[in-house]
Structure 1
Amino acid sequence: MWRRIIYHPEVNYALRQTLVLCLPIAVGWLLGDLRQGLLFSLVPACCNNAGLDTPHKRFFKRLIIGGSLFAFCSFMILYAGEQGVPLPIIMLVMALMLGVTAEISPLHGRLLPASLIAAIFTLSLAGRVPLWQPPLLYILGTIWYGLFNWLWFRLWKEQPMRETLSLLYRELADYCEAKYTLLTRLTDPQTALPPLLARQQKAVDLINTCYQQMYMLAASQDNHYQRLTRAFQVALDLQEHISVSLHQPEEVQKLVEQSHAEAVIRWNAQTIAARLRVLADDILYHRYPERFTMDKPLQALEKISRQNKDNPVGNFCYYHFSRIARVLRTQRPLYRRDLMADRQRRLPLIPALKSYLSLKSPGLRSAARYGVMLAFASSLALFFNLPKPYWILMTVMFVSLNGYGATRVRIQHRAMGTLAGLVIAAVMLRLHAPESVMLLVMLALTLIGNLFIRKFYGWATIGFTITTVFTLQLLSLNGVQLLIPRLMDTLIGCLIAFGGMIWLWPQWQSGLLRQNAHDALEAYQEALQLLLGQEQEPAKLAWQRMRVNQAHNALFNSLHQAMQEPNFNASYLKDMQLWVTHSQFIVEHINAMTILAREHTMLTESLAQRYLQSCEIALQRCQQRLEYDGPSSDSNVLEAPEDFHQGPVTILERHVKRILGHLSTMHTISSLTWSQRPHQGRWLSRRLRKSP
């Protein structure tokens, strides 16, 4: 039982966040200086937003950079304020200066909002403390935060990667069960495939997270992570075999009518899913797995396969299930991959600065959006004669996220949670509880809020709002008088953030769909060149297969977010959903071809080259329809050659032929879809890419 408590992801996270926040308050209370302890507890909020609690091989370097930026922003807002510089100009200039961090790497980019939050917290202290005290507070607070988290991760060194691997195994279990237990209901791709696509993309997201964690922790060179690295390689094998294409509804229906294959396949899939969930718990709770075998389900499936030799479905399922069973039995990957370093874009400061100064830089647009929103909020506060609009600015920062849909949901949860929290806090303040009781309530609410914040942000906001009101009450004894103003500030901040996300350089995913589709087609072409080329290196094939999955994942996520955006053509998005569905089929075929290539099930050199040429022509046709908006006859489209191969069709040929069929359908969809595309934002550009 104690393992489930201490190693559970939500409990472990909540304990860490609560202790790092509340220990300074407890020390300050014991020493008779509760005010300094409460002020010291502001620093972890900035460190959390900066991602300084992310385990990293450059952990202390990132702490030094983060603490320095916090202290610099804290000093600058106080010093510039004393010099009479208007607050809107301070916030705009500060955001534009710090925006370059997003060009260095995505993790560095989190320093921008965190540093701005540090400046906003300091604004609430202006006039109450000396000029040197807030910067020193941030330096000491970052040191405390870093040392605490370093010690925590020394005690639970493998825990972050264990949590991700456990989630990955659970997602693979759900995907396998959903894909193979409803065979007779998966005949209509329009209704059956979207749930499977969502599960497949979640698994790919978790694989990407594992790659990033291995890169950040240098896990491939650390002996402590050998068992987890092997578990990750096993997960890659499982994803490879589970996600291969089985979309043959006519053959499936025929096999089900001729035998009891549906029950046997469901038996195998549920056995595999149950084992994966057990392994997920074993990884998370530091247990060694028990022995496993699924001989009886496999024997029943093999018997059906022998009895129906003309039907490819039984042999297909037996082939992949038997390899999955071998992996689960031995707990060793079928193939030892060379886990290449994650290809994260990370630039030194000077090249990043050059890239940042371009008007096309996403980092510049994001920084400008933050700066303009904060400047507008500050100007509004000056207009209404609000001397320290820190709550409005803080609300803008906390609810502003990258996408429209995420920001809208965060705004709703923030506003509703703040309203409920202020009502509850008003009732509790009227009870006039002693200081010790208020601190215990704050401790309990902080722990409970951190337990729920990752899944239920709105409920966590209720507890954090009550804690904030109690903090103001303990600091200035005026918590009741601030209830209504804080509610109004929250609503104003949410409205500003919502308006900024819609009108200030929005990154509508509908406009990014075409670029992501083009990138996915490029990844497919590179994979087919490796699979049908002369040199098939297993390490390159495995890495390219993951690149294909990642490219399609970016496309699917763009479509999912675009369908939540306002005022876009629903018919266009529906057509793009069908396009993405066929793209998913291509990914599944490439997964299967990678397995066959590794087992040396290949074509003759001349035949492979002719099929590769056909695939490249089909891919170029699709890319041309993405790049040009004119009629097909004006775009100089190359036509794919006719079927030239006579004789028995091999398994690999069957996959290639289906890829060609999907590409043909995608080209037809593209020809009809672009005329319905949205005509705003990036879509005003007639061509996808400028000619060199």
Structure 2
Amino acid sequence: MWRRLIYHPEVNYALRQTLVLCLPVGIGLLLGNLQLGLLFSLVPACCNIAGLDTPHKRFFKRLIVGGTLFATSSLIMQLLLLYTAVPLPIILMVMALLLGVTAEISALHARLLPASLIAAIFTLSMAGNMPIWKPMVLYVSGTIWYGVFNWFWFWMWREQPLRETLSLLYRQLAEYCEAKYGMLTQHADPETALPPLLARQQKAVDLITICYQQLHMLSANQQNGYKHLLRSFQIALDLQEHISVSLHQPAEVQKLVAKSHAEAVIRWNAQTIAARLRVLADDILYHRYPQRFTMEKQIEALEKIARQNPDNPVGQFCHYHFSRIARVLRIQRPLYARDLMEDRQRRLPLWAALKSYLSLKSAALRNAARLGVMLTIASLFGAFLHLPKPYWILMTVMFVTQNGYGATRVRILHRSAGTIAGLAIAGIALHFHFPQSIALAAMLVITLVSYLFIRQSYGWATIGFTVTAVYTLQLLTLSAEQFIVPRLIDTLLGCLIAFGGMVWLWPQWQSGLLRQNAHDALEKDQDAIRLILSNDPEPTPLAWQRMKVNQAHNALFNSLNQAMQEPGFNSHYLADMKLWVTHSQFIVEHINAMTTLAREHNMLTPDLAQRYLQSCEIALQRCQQRLQYDGPGETQDANILDPLEGLPSGPLSTMEQHLQRILGHLSTMHTISSVAWRQRPHHGIWLNRLRRSD
């Protein structure tokens, strides 16, 4: 019982965040300086947004950089406000543009921009009420406390972050396997059956990407303590490879189901695998040794169906992949030894990042300018409302602004609704005049409960945080009731400004980025097919290239999902793109299956492999050229050979069947593109007549 409590991801996270916030308050209460303890608890908010609690091989270096930026932002804000006549809007704009270069260094460094701006906004509320050095010391000491506490916490649960991700990955693979093979007769129409499977496949690949990033950040390959988790991750890669292969043969599936009880047997196998994966997910999360496992009866029943229907490829297909999944789950070792290639993303040195940042094409520059303009507008609204320090509007803008339109819209809705409910609850509670001890105990419980829900429902967590924020003001000023209505107005203003900024200030519409992501996905497909059809493909590059294909397709799928939530999109264009992405997913699944065959040396003759490679490259070239030009497709493709010319007909090997289906999907994708690109929405400068790579 205690394992399920202490190792549960939400409980572990809530305990860590609550203790790092509330211990300084408790120490301040014991020392008779509660106000300083409450102010000290503001610093972890900056550290959380900056991602300084992310386990990393450069953990303390990132803490030093973060604490230095917080203190520097605080100093600049106070000096410019107290000793110069520089208006607040200009200060915020300049700080946003200066700190924006962090996003060019790496994605993790990019989180330092909003965190440093929030540190400056917190300082705005304290400027003039205490000496200049005091907020700086507060930020430095608070960051040190935050770093030491989290280092100690991760030292006690060294492997827990990776365990949580692996557990989620195994659960997602279980859901994907159960959904894909549970009801085969429902998969006859890909337009209705595939989107739910795509969403599950996307989540699995996203979790695999997170695992790669965590392994790279922790240098886990060089630490003996992570060996069993590395083995679990490699097992998950094998499972994903065999679960996410293409079974899109509706006619053959229907024939097999009509002639035998194959559907029940395949569902039995899938449910057995899914149940075992859920057990392994709990074993990984709660530090338990896995029990013995076998599914011989299920595999024998599947083998019998494949033997009774030798002319139907579905039976052999399922037996081949399920038997290998069963072997992995039985021996609890990966099918082959692979070296996990580290994440190829590198952080840029400061000077190189600065050079890239000073370009009008820089996404980091646009994001920093967007934040700067939104903060400028928020400060001007504060001046219009005669607010000397409009810190609440500014903080709301920072808290609700996310990377994309859809995420920002959801955060705004949760923030505004949670704030209204929290202020109403706090306003009622203030009339009861609870003693300080009861108020602090209630704040502790509310903080813990809020952190239990924050990763699942930001709106419910906002209710709790709003109540604790009001009571913090009450303990600091003894007059929190007069802040309730102004804070509500400030929150709604901040949400409106953030929404307007994401819609009108240089938005990066995902519907406009679909073409670039589609081109990247085709390029990764081409690289994978070249590697698979090479003379002697090595297992490690094969596995890494397969994951890059899956990740590129996921980027395209994410863009499509976000584009469908954007205002004013072209429904016909996105419907065509949804079909295009569906066929792209089939290609990904065929590449997954071909990777397995290539690793087991189920290869074509060199001459036949070369002919198929040329045909695939011709088909991919046609699709890529159709993505590059807005004009009619016929003029651009007139001089390109037919990719199906010169290929063998008649009985085909398994590898040839996959390649033939890939060519068929590419032909359909080219036809769809000829219609889709001409009716797509034009969102400003992100689409040109010729696609220009950055």
Q: TM-score normalised to the size of structure 2?
A: 0.99
Contact persistence 1:469–1:479 (CA under 8 A): yes
| 1:15-164 matched pairs, under 5 angstroms | 15-82=15-82, 83-164=84-165
Q: Provide the residue aligned with 2:240 in structure 1.
A: 239
| 1:181-196 matched pairs, under 5 angstroms | 181-196=182-197
Q: Give the distance between the partners of 2:262 and 2:685, measured in 1 at CA.
A: 50
Q: Provide the residue aligned with 1:460 in structure 2.
A: 461
What letter is aligned with 2:540? A
Q: Give the distance between the partners of 2:21 and 2:63, measured in 1 at CA.
A: 17
What letter is aligned with 2:659? V
2:651 to 648, 651, 658: 648
Q: Give the distance between the partners of 1:516 and 1:68, measured in 2 at CA.
A: 37
What letter is aligned with 2:679? Q
**Per-residue CA distance 1:402-431 (angstroms, 9 max, x = gap):** 110110010000000000000000010000
What letter is aligned with 2:52? L
Contact persistence 2:553–2:584 (CA under 8 A): yes
Q: Give the distance between the partners of 2:635 and 2:382, measured in 1 at CA.
A: 56
Q: Give the distance between the partners of 2:430 and 2:113, measured in 1 at CA.
A: 36
Q: Give the distance between the partners of 1:257 and 1:633, measured in 2 at CA.
A: 43
Q: Give the distance between the partners of 1:690 and 1:143, measured in 2 at CA.
A: 43
Q: Provide the residue aligned with 1:434 in structure 2.
A: 435
Q: Give the distance between the partners of 2:635 and 2:248, measured in 1 at CA.
A: 35
Aligned with 1:110: secondary structure? helix
Q: Provide the residue aligned with 1:4 in structure 2.
A: 4
What letter is aligned with 1:364? L
Aligned with 1:559: secondary structure? helix
Q: Give the distance between the partners of 2:239 and 2:634, measured in 1 at CA.
A: 44
1:672 to 659, 668, 675: 675
- CA drift of 1:562 comes to 0.4
Q: Give the distance between the partners of 2:424 and 2:569, measured in 1 at CA.
A: 38
What letter is aligned with 2:525? Y
2:688 corresponds to 1:688: no
**Per-residue CA distance 1:443-475 (angstroms, 9 max, x = gap):** 000000000000010000000000000000000
- CA drift of 1:189 comes to 0.5
- CA drift of 1:647 comes to 4.8
| 1:290-689 matched pairs, under 5 angstroms | 290-637=291-638, 638-641=640-643, 642-682=645-685, 684-689=687-692
- CA drift of 1:344 comes to 1.3
Contact persistence 1:340–1:543 (CA under 8 A): yes
Q: Give the distance between the partners of 2:261 and 2:649, measured in 1 at CA.
A: 35
Percent identity over paired residues: 73
- CA drift of 1:683 comes to 5.0
Q: Give the distance between the partners of 1:202 and 1:640, measured in 2 at CA.
A: 36
Q: Give the distance between the partners of 1:646 and 1:678, measured in 2 at CA.
A: 42
What letter is aligned with 1:356? Y
Q: Give the distance between the partners of 1:684 and 1:622, measured in 2 at CA.
A: 17
What letter is aligned with 1:689? R
Contact persistence 2:531–2:542 (CA under 8 A): yes
Q: Provide the residue aligned with 2:202 in structure 1.
A: 201
Contact persistence 2:302–2:315 (CA under 8 A): yes
Q: Give the distance between the partners of 1:6 and 1:106, measured in 2 at CA.
A: 31
Structure 2: gaps (5+ residues): none
What letter is aligned with 1:671? S
- CA drift of 1:689 comes to 1.6
Change (3 A) 1:684 1:546: closer
Contact persistence 2:512–2:687 (CA under 8 A): no
Q: Provide the residue aligned with 2:226 in structure 1.
A: 225
Contact persistence 2:533–2:613 (CA under 8 A): yes
| 1:165-184 matched pairs, under 5 angstroms | 165-184=166-185
Q: Give the distance between the partners of 2:336 and 2:43, measured in 1 at CA.
A: 46
Contact persistence 2:622–2:637 (CA under 8 A): no
- CA drift of 1:552 comes to 0.2
Q: Give the distance between the partners of 1:71 and 1:679, measured in 2 at CA.
A: 43
What letter is aligned with 1:57? K
**Per-residue CA distance 1:600-658 (angstroms, 9 max, x = gap):** 00000010001000000000000000000111233245132424314531000000000
Aligned with 1:600: secondary structure? coil
Aligned with 1:199: secondary structure? helix
Contact persistence 1:241–1:324 (CA under 8 A): yes
- CA drift of 1:690 comes to 6.5
- CA drift of 1:685 comes to 1.2
What letter is aligned with 1:651? T
Q: Give the distance between the partners of 2:415 and 2:385, measured in 1 at CA.
A: 23
Aligned length: 691
**Per-residue CA distance 1:30-69 (angstroms, 9 max, x = gap):** 1100000000000000000000000000000000000000
What letter is aligned with 1:675? R
Contact persistence 1:378–1:393 (CA under 8 A): yes
Q: Give the distance between the partners of 1:586 and 1:364, measured in 2 at CA.
A: 36
Deviates more, 1:455-464 or 1:624-633: 624-633
**Per-residue CA distance 1:501-555 (angstroms, 9 max, x = gap):** 0001101000000000000000000001101122311111110000000000000
Contact persistence 1:408–1:498 (CA under 8 A): yes
Q: Give the distance between the partners of 1:169 and 1:636, measured in 2 at CA.
A: 44
Runs of 4+ in 1 over 6 A off after TM superposition: none
Q: Give the distance between the partners of 1:513 and 1:403, measured in 2 at CA.
A: 14
Change (3 A) 1:684 1:306: closer
Q: Give the distance between the partners of 2:384 and 2:481, measured in 1 at CA.
A: 25
- CA drift of 1:130 comes to 0.6
Contact persistence 1:511–1:682 (CA under 8 A): no
Change (3 A) 1:234 1:690: closer
Q: Give the distance between the partners of 1:591 and 1:681, measured in 2 at CA.
A: 37
- CA drift of 1:253 comes to 0.6
What letter is aligned with 1:243? S
Deviates more, 1:164-173 or 1:79-88: 79-88
Aligned with 1:124: secondary structure? helix
- CA drift of 1:680 comes to 2.3
What letter is aligned with 1:108? H
Q: Give the distance between the partners of 1:446 and 1:404, measured in 2 at CA.
A: 29
- CA drift of 1:681 comes to 2.0
Q: Give the distance between the partners of 1:453 and 1:671, measured in 2 at CA.
A: 44
- CA drift of 1:684 comes to 4.4
Aligned with 2:52: secondary structure? coil
Structure 1: gaps (5+ residues): none
What letter is aligned with 1:30? L
Q: Give the distance between the partners of 2:297 and 2:535, measured in 1 at CA.
A: 41
Q: Give the distance between the partners of 2:651 and 2:29, measured in 1 at CA.
A: 82
What letter is aligned with 1:122? T
What letter is aligned with 1:500? G
Q: Give the distance between the partners of 1:636 and 1:622, measured in 2 at CA.
A: 9
Q: Provide the residue aligned with 1:264 in structure 2.
A: 265
Q: Give the distance between the partners of 1:533 and 1:647, measured in 2 at CA.
A: 24
Q: Give the distance between the partners of 2:10 and 2:637, measured in 1 at CA.
A: 56
